[in-house]
Structure 1
Amino acid sequence: MKNIDAKSFLPNLAFVCLGLIWGSNFLYMKLATQYINPIQVVFLRVVLAVFPIILFGFVKGSFKKEHLKYWYHFIIMSLLAAVVYYYCFVVGSHLLYSGIAGALSGSSPLFSFVLAAIFLNEEKVSLRKIIGLILGFLGVIILAKPFDASITDTTWQGILYMIIGSISLGASFIYAKKIVSPLKISGLALTAYQLIGATAILCLITPYDGITNIFNNTEATLGLVVGLSLLGTGLAFLIYYFIIDKLGAVKAASVTYIPPIVALIIGAFIGGEPIIFSDIMGALIILLGVYILKK
């Protein structure tokens, strides 16, 4: 029993840690976009993370020549789990309150569930999973307040960007489980390959004018370098592959229920964003959905 408990403890701890890391990123993203544009935030986030990951990979001997033949899979994952996902979430965080942006990020398990049911034979659909996902998505809807008459065009744009980013993230979970995980490449190597691919793509599309403005503010700099880059990108990728392997794609995708709650709390108490009763209820319903899904 002790061995079983030990084996289940680490994946679940990783699950919670990843949720906390992702949840804290929304305030960092909003702060960074006050000084540089969203694509520049994504560029710096990825570039600052790729070098320590590559160095660590060399130390661990994770890179193999035979991995090069799978380069196209790494590019696809770079787009799904980095470039598109990061960019949409940065824009969404810029246009919305960071807590609301974080709340909307919880919609990705819904898309992961649908994609998993279609493409992953081992991910069985059950009434319990459906109830958990529906409850979680209901909580996200309550937090996002999509039917509020006071919502502006800018707010709707932010919501749309968050939904697109959530779809991209959800698709990456399924692609990783179905295509990438069976390749038996270490999570460290996969993380490095994806970040290298994302760096190459971002180097081609990022405008560099004014990018150093981020360093004019200490809080924005620390949030981007430590929060978004080292923790929210490098470490998050390693945890991401670990929980997919140990918990399965659908349960791993359900980690995205945690960031809405974390982002809401951080946005309210650190960012000074307004929080009302419906926000609290939405967060509690998300927690209930996660509990039912993982029970």
Structure 2
Amino acid sequence: MLRIYAAFILLGIFWGSNFIYMKWASALITSGQISLLRVLFGFAPLAVLAWRKGVFRFGQVRYLHHFAMMAAFATAFSYFAMAQGTALLPSGIAGVLGASPALFTCIASAAFLRHERINPMMCSGVLLGIVGIALISRPWSSSGTDDAISMTGVAWMLVGSLVFGLSYIYVRRYLSAIKLPPLAIVTWQMGLALSILACLTDLHGIGRILHDWKAATGLVFGLGLLGTGASFLLYYYLLEKLGAVAAASAVYVTPVVALLIGWWVGERVGLLELIAVVMIFGSIALLEFGRQANTRQKTEPVTPPTVRFD
């Protein structure tokens, strides 16, 4: 059990520290180049493990169009948007906003999945999350003040989270019934995303990342190998040991880790940021509890009414 707890904590730390690595790299290379290198070094350990476990089958090629959709939007575009947003924001705030895909998944599930319904608890979670995002974004601050937050950066983070959240709906509708090994799906997805980014990214100046050993190490080992590749492996390990709900709960740790790292490197973390984190944290919890309540209602047997004669 100790090994499972260690994997859970590591996953939250890896996810939460991704934003500081993107922030460091953004001072030297473009968001497209950050995304390309992230996927490259994240794909490598996944490909090795998938090959060793023998999860690939020739028949999987028939689902290539689904893998390509996930690669283009859930990986290539989402990673690019997150890198763009993090370049314009403090890394801690970017990390808090990056924990919002669950919010968009909930809204999209109610809109696009016929058998999914949103209950009062989930509505409360959505509203709480929106208020938390508004608090940490501070749209009322003028752009010239010291505490102003880049609305462009916020928009990039939210668009990336939105697309990433919608990807779960796509998986539910088109890939869940296929029953392919999750490791095979994510390896196809990462490999195709690597091809897409390699074709679309301007590589001019990418070597500048080597001018700063801290940024280069953070990008290759922190963001690529650990924050992407190893995180997927840890997630599927927890998925196998604990189930989907517990494995996904590592997202609760992400904004806290990101904000603590931001504070440690000198970013401003005030009462407003802490309140926003609590709100977004509570939003994710309410959404998950509401989803579990819906699941229990679906699985509970319906008992016929009894007639009593007193």
- Give the TM-score normalised by the residue count of structure 2: 0.82
Q: Cα distance 1:179–1:255, how it changes in 2: closer, same or farther (>3 A)?
A: farther
Code of the residue aligned with 2:53 in structure 1: it is K
C-alpha separation in 2, matches of 1:207 and 1:236: 27
Residue 257 (structure 1) shift:
5.2
What are the within-5 Å matches in structure 2 for residues 47-62 of structure 1? 47-62=40-55
Within 5 Å, give how 1:82-97 maps onto structure 2. 82-97=75-90
Tell me the distance in 2 between the aligned counterparts of 1:240 and 1:175. Answer: 20
Are residues 287 and 110 of structure 1, via their aligned partners in 2, closer, same or farther at CA, if it must alter by over 3 Å? Answer: closer
Partners of 1:170 and 1:253 within 8 A in 2: no
Query: What is the match of residue 297 of structure 2?
Result: none
Q: For residues 163 and 233 of structure 2, what CA distance do their matches in structure 1 show?
A: 18
Correspondent of 1:247 among 244, 247, 258: 244
1:79-158 map, 5 Å: 79-150=72-143, 155-158=150-153
Aligned residue for 2:202, secondary structure, equals coil
- What is the alpha-carbon distance in structure 1 between the residues aligned to residue 69 and residue 8 of structure 2? 24
Is 1:159–2:154 an aligned residue pair? yes
Q: How does 1:176-187 map to 2 (within 5 A)?
A: 176-187=171-182
- Secondary structure of 1:106's counterpart equals coil
285, 290, 294: which one aligns with 1:291:
285
Give aligned pairs, total.
Answer: 284
Quick check: 1:112–1:253 contact (8 Å CA) kept in 2? no
Q: Which amino acid aligns with 1:75?
A: A
Task: Compute the RMSD of aligned alpha carbons.
Answer: 2.8
Structure 1 residue 77: deviation in Å?
Answer: 0.5
1:1-295 aligned at under 5 Å gives the runs: 17-150=10-143, 155-238=150-233, 246-247=243-244, 256=251, 258-269=253-264, 271-295=265-289
Q: Distance in 2 between matches of 1:151 and 1:123?
A: 44
Q: Quickly say closer, same or farther: Cα 1:233–1:92, change in 2 above 3 A.
A: same
Q: Gaps (5+ residues) in structure 2?
A: 290-310
Shift of 1:22: 2.1
Partner AA of 1:194 in structure 2: Q
Q: Distance in 2 between matches of 1:23 and 1:190?
A: 24
Partners of 1:99 and 1:158 lie apart in 2 by 13
Structure with higher Rg: it is 2
Q: Aligned partners of 1:263, 1:82: CA distance in 2, in Å?
A: 20
CA–CA distance in structure 2, aligned partners of residues 247 and 122 of structure 1: 19
In structure 2, relative to structure 1, the CA distance for the partners of 1:137 and 1:258 (3 Å cut) is farther
Structure 1: gaps (5+ residues)? 1-5
TM-score by length of 1: 0.85
Q: Sequence identity, in percent?
A: 35
**Counterpart Cα distance in 2 of 1:262 and 1:151:** 29
